[in-house]
Amino acid sequence: MGGCDDHARRPPSLPWTVRVQLAALALAHRRDGSVRRLLFSLGDLKSGTTSRPGASGSGVRSADVTIDASRGLWARVFSPSPAADADADAEPAPVPIVVYFHGGGFVLFSAASRPYDAFCRRLCRDLHAVVVSVNYRLAPEHRFPAAYDDGVAALRYLDANADSLPEAHVPVDLSSCFLAGDSAGGNITHHVAQRWAASSPAANLHVAGAVLIQPFFGGEERTEAEVALDRVSALSVAATDHYWREFLPEGATRDHEAARVCGEGVELADAFPPAMVVVGGFDLLKDWQARYVEALRGKGKPVRVVEYPDAVHGFHAFPELADSGKFVEEMKLFVQEHSSTKHQACLGI
């Protein structure tokens, strides 16, 4: 993974459409990292669901489903159309299911936010998988461990209701369930995978892999990347510190188990799934991600590292960036590699 010399490189030149969106996100934060909530809410445009596959131009249907009304927990389900070469009279082959956790420092965005609706729709189409984007509860109203509890609740819901997901016109293979998320969602992906693996539930749902896109980990010390890349893009050290203060239990430090997932004393279940960790060269979190990879490998866990030297934090959500397309292809390969054999043929293996 990238070393200290990488910090001296000039930031990449980004398309103006990306620069505008990153600048708007930066503007929604004060210098101390706190969020101007009204300003952010005005810019956080939402997408509706699509019941007709042609309506979005992607061949993907979507619908919202309530997981737990008592805690306001719901998810958006994206379902691909049957394969173009599928026999109309034959039962469609089961497809993998991807459970997605959006980013936003545990405090921002939702499953309906336009960038996440569009990204999950894209994953659904390109991976030919059912994607379930979890609208977990946000901090500071709902601190640790609410987001993790909601992630596990979503898996339990799917284990019991996979055959009746709305707008799912293809069957899902619960033995090929993948957890994925970016930034704070990558953090949630790790903790939900760990909880599911450690609890050894008597369930049909099997977590076959975890995809962590620039996951949000941390600690009290400052890494070289945090010092060198502060404010290079929309993400700043002040903002990350604010997110941790909002999410962690009051009075906790960034060395809390939710943030610091590497080092001595960190538990990792024997059944923790194979992981794919995505790292950007201009992401100030990349040193924590490198330590996470070392921790996984130190425990003997299979992990694939995918690095994009010119990628800023959140690059995956911008389809106009070449690295975003490369990442989706890498994720497709990962899903193909770790899916059950009964439907690998339909994935192109």
Q: What's the pLDDT at 92?
A: 79
pTM, two decimals, is 0.94
Among candidate residues 304, 104, 80, the one with its CA nearest the CA of residue 187: 104
Neighbours of 229 (CB within 10 A): 26
> For the residues of 81-127, what is the DSSP string, one character each?
PPPTTS-TTSPPPPEEEEEEE--STTTS--TTBHHHHHHHHHHHHHH
Residues forming the active site: 183, 283, 313
> Which residue bears the tokens 């995918």?
306
> Which residue bears the tokens 């009964």?
342
Which residues in 144-153 are b (16+ Cβ under 10 Å) and which e? Answer: bbbbbbbbbb
Q: What's the pLDDT at 119?
A: 98
Give the pairing of strands 303-312 and 60-68: unpaired
Q: What's the pLDDT at 91?
A: 76
Q: What's the pLDDT at 305?
A: 98
Q: What's the pLDDT at 88?
A: 59
Among candidate residues 4, 14, 25, the one with its CA nearest the CA of residue 235: 25
Contacts of residue 295, Cβ cutoff 8 Å, sequence gap at least 6: 261, 262, 263, 266, 268
Q: Which parts of the chain sit beneath pLDDT 50? A: 4, 345, 349
Among candidate residues 128, 131, 130, 132, the one with its CA nearest the CA of residue 86: 128
Domains of the chain: 57-81+93-265+274-347 (3.40.50.1820)
∠ CA 309-310-313, rounded to 5° = 100
Q: What's the pLDDT at 3?
A: 52
> Which residue bears the tokens 């640790």?
144
